[in-house]
Every structure is written in C-alpha cells, then in structure tokens.
C-alpha cells in the first residue's frame, strides 16, 4: 500500500507558480542586497525543518498541516517497527534466519513440535479507539481563535467516557458497562475465563464435564480440556468476545438493567444504527471532527487517527499433534503457545492501527494542496503579514520533500502490513 505522489500532491505545480511571491521591503532580489536574510527571513535548506514540523510559518492551517504530516511519519515508523520486531522475534525463537518468509515460520513450528494438518488461529478484530477530544483541539488550533467549549467531535460507534466523567447517553445511544473483577457475574460478552453455571454452553475451550462431544479430551471420566460441542459444566476459556452467563474472570461487557453502571465499571455510549453521537472521550469507530474548513477538518481527523490505540485481542489456536509427538513435545508446544499467542496478538493490534494510520496519511496528502494553496492565495491578496508571506514561500518549497517523506513512510508501513497478512494467510486466518 503506497501513496501516489502525483495524485496526492496535485496542487504542487500550481503552488510552484506562486512560490516566488514578492515580500515588500525584504525581497531577495533587491538591488540593495539580500534584505530578506537581514530581516531574519530565511528558508532552511531543503525545507527540512518545516517538513519535520519543527518550524512555524505563522499561518495556523499551514503550521497544522506540517505538524500533522510529521506526526504521521513518526507514527507510521513506530507501527512498522513494532510489526517487524514481532516477526523478527518469532523467527529468532525458532532458529530461523532474519530473511525467512512467513511460510517458513509456520513450517518450522509444525516441524519442531510435530504438528500435522493446519495450524489455525482465530481472533476477533482488534479494538481500536480514537481520542475524539484530540480532533476538537486540533480543529481549534487550525482555525485560530475558537471557543473550545463550543467545539465538539462526533462518534459513529461507541464513545467511552473519561474515568471521572458522569455518563449520560443521548436518545441516539445505548449505555454499555464494562467491569473487570475476579468472578464478576456476567450476562454479556466476557474476555477471559467464564465459570459456567450448571449446563452452560461454552464458546471456547471447556475445562470440566462436557455433555456432548469433546474435541481434544485429555482425561477420562467425562472431563474435557478442549472444545465442547454441547454443554459444559466447569470453566470455559472463551474465544474473543464470547458470551458468558456465569462468573467472568476478565472483562465483562453488559447492558445495565438499571440504566447506570456499577461502581468501578467504565461506561460508554453505543450509537444506535448509523447515528453520530457527541463524544469527548475515546471513540471505537469513525470520528467526525467539528465543522471547520476542509483542510482543518482533515488535519484534525488525521491527528487523532495516527494516535489511535488498538487493544490486542485474545487468540485461539487450533492444532493437531502427529502420532510421533510424545508427552514432552506436547508440553513444550503448549508452553510455546503462550509466546506465540503474544506475538500474534501484538501483530493483529499493530496491523489494525497501521490501516488507520495509512488512511490518515492518504487524507493528509489529498488535503495538502488546499491547506497551503489557499494560504498562499491569501498572502497574494495581502491578507497576511510579511513574515507569514515569506514563510508560505518556504512552505511551498518544502512540499516536494514532504511528499517524498510521506510516500516513503507509507511504503515502509505497507510492506510490514503485507508481511503480516502473508503470515495470517499461512496460519489459515
């Protein structure tokens, strides 16, 4: 997944035509010498400082654009690095070379631990949240003098309130609660182990009596340590987001019958259907920035998206030992599974964030022309001061470098996303 330099930065040619705009009293071509430099108006070599977001032009929309691009590059590099680190660690643990392919990883696991058939992983999508308040703050900075009390973002999905906030959901949303406690009574989805009531159904691995067929039973007398196709009496290690009617040892999400959450539980508002709800916390879904100019809305949205937080999901692995696998090999594999699940879970979360970051980069590129070109036009019409006018000239000169940096960062991140995708294909996900 790479960005098209021509399509994303189409306004560049037009802006180049006005990049030589004159600066009254500080013209570089003045017969009395380089007055611009004497006025302290100097473009850094190759626009590197602006491109890194380490300098300001004096025009909020343009300064915000360069900050957002620099933030995108930093986050793209971090996410790419985290995916690469997990893949590298998996190879090293298996004794593989650094240039080993995803297919080599899966083949080596099966060979070392004497597995046959498919090694399949199952998981729910990573839970990603975007801080809606970041879009409001970024919009206010971009637009200039804006009353923050009147700048609100909207969420199409679920908005989790800040811990100290008292939650009141609008008519377009449903209140949801999430509690974390040992053996919490749960009538909803549970992330962890569910101690079922007698005869409870299990969507995961049953540890107890299975009234039905048990896949992977390791003991006699009706005790099951595997998938129970029936009802399970005992505990159940649920697949991600599995329903639990019993005691949940982990996170339980439920709809409170009383209309308010229990003490210690976090509260969130879940938008009904396609509704958008006002949000000042974290949004699991799409965030719509406060109404502003197109370039400011794009910057605000991108600033929030590149800082999205994605929670690694729980992983369920299906496997089958070959007839040659003795008890020692089986024990070693079950121990290795803990590490394996950790790597896969981290890659799933990082890949989910990568998708959000890459979309933000694309949107920034499409808005680049608007942010800078409109400001340059304003300077030509005399609506900005001398220093800002010169800064805009530097901004135009920096755009080619910015375009190249964004393209490179996107390509590097896209390559890691592709590598993780190939691994999941080999794992049968």
Question: pLDDT tens digit string along 129-155?
Answer: 999 888 888 888 887 766 656 678 899
Q: How far is CA 325 from CA 116, 200, 328, 337, in A?
A: 10, 33, 8, 16
Q: Is pLDDT of 31 > 70?
A: no
Q: Is the pLDDT of residue 198 over 50?
A: yes
Global pTM value: 0.74
Neighbours of 223 (CB within 10 A): 15
Band (pLDDT 50/70/90 cuts) for residue 22 is very low
Q: Write down the pLDDT at residue 342.
A: 95
- Residues 6+ positions from 34 with CB-CB distance below 8 Å: 28
Query: What is the pLDDT at residue 170?
Result: 87
Looking at the predicted structure, is the pLDDT value of residue 26 above 70?
A: no
Kindly report, residue by residue over 93-130, the tens digit of the pLDDT.
999 999 999 999 999 999 999 999 889 998 888 989 99
Measured CA to CA, the distance from residue 333 to residue 112 in angstroms comes to 9
Closest CA to 317 of 346, 351, 340, 348: 340
Element (H, E) at 335: helix 327-380
- Residue 130: per-residue pLDDT: 93
What does pLDDT average to over the chain?
79
User: What local confidence, expressed as pLDDT, does residue 165 receive?
Assistant: 53
């Amino acid at each position: 997944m790479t960005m098209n330099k021509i399509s994303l930065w189409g306004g560049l040619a037009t802006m180049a035509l006005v990049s030589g705009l004159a600066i009254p009293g500080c013209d570089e071509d003045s017969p009395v010498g380089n007055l611009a430099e004497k006025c302290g108006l100097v473009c850094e070599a190759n626009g590197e400082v602006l491109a890194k977001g380490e300098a300001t032009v004096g025009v909020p929309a343009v300064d915000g654009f360069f900050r957002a691009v620099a933030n995108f590059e930093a986050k793209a590099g971090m996410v790419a690095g985290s995916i690469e680190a997990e893949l590298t660690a998996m190879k090293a643990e298996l004794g593989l070379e650094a240039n080993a392919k995803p297919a080599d990883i899966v083949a080596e696991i099966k060979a070392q631990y004497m597995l046959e058939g498919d090694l399949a992983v199952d998981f729910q999508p990573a839970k990603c949240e975007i801080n809606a308040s970041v879009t409001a703050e970024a919009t206010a900075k971009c637009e200039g003098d804006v009353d923050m009390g009147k700048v609100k973002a909207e969420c199409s999905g679920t908005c989790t309130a800040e811990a100290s906030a008292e939650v009141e959901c609008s008519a377009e949303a449903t209140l949801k609660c999430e509690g974390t406690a040992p053996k919490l009574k749960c009538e909803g989805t549970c992330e962890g182990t569910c101690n079922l009531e007698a005869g409870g159904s299990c969507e995961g691995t049953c540890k107890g009596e299975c009234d039905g067929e048990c896949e992977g039973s390791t003991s006699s007398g009706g005790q099951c340590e595997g998938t129970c196709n029936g009802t399970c009496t005992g505990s159940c290690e649920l697949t991600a987001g599995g329903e639990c009617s019993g005691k949940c040892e982990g996170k339980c999400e439920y709809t409170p019958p009383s209309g308010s959450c229990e003490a210690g539980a976090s509260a969130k508002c879940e938008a009904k259907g396609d509704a958008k709800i006002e949000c000042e916390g974290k949004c699991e879904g799409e965030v719509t920035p406060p109404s502003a100019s197109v370039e400011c809305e794009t910057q605000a949205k991108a600033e929030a998206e590149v800082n999205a937080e994605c929670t690694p999901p729980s992983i369920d692995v299906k496997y089958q030992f070959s007839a040659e696998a003795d008890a020692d090999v089986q024990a070693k594999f079950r121990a290795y599974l803990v590490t394996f699940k950790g790597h896969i879970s981290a890659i799933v979360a990082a890949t989910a964030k990568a998708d959000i970051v890459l979309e933000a980069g694309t949107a920034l590129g499409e808005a680049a022309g608007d942010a800078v070109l409109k400001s340059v036009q304003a300077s030509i019409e005399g609506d900005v001061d001398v220093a800002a006018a010169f800064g805009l000239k530097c901004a135009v000169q920096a755009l080619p470098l910015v375009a190249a940096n964004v393209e490179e960062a996107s390509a590097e991140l896209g390559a890691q996303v592709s590598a993780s995708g190939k691994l999941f294909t080999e794992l049968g996900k």
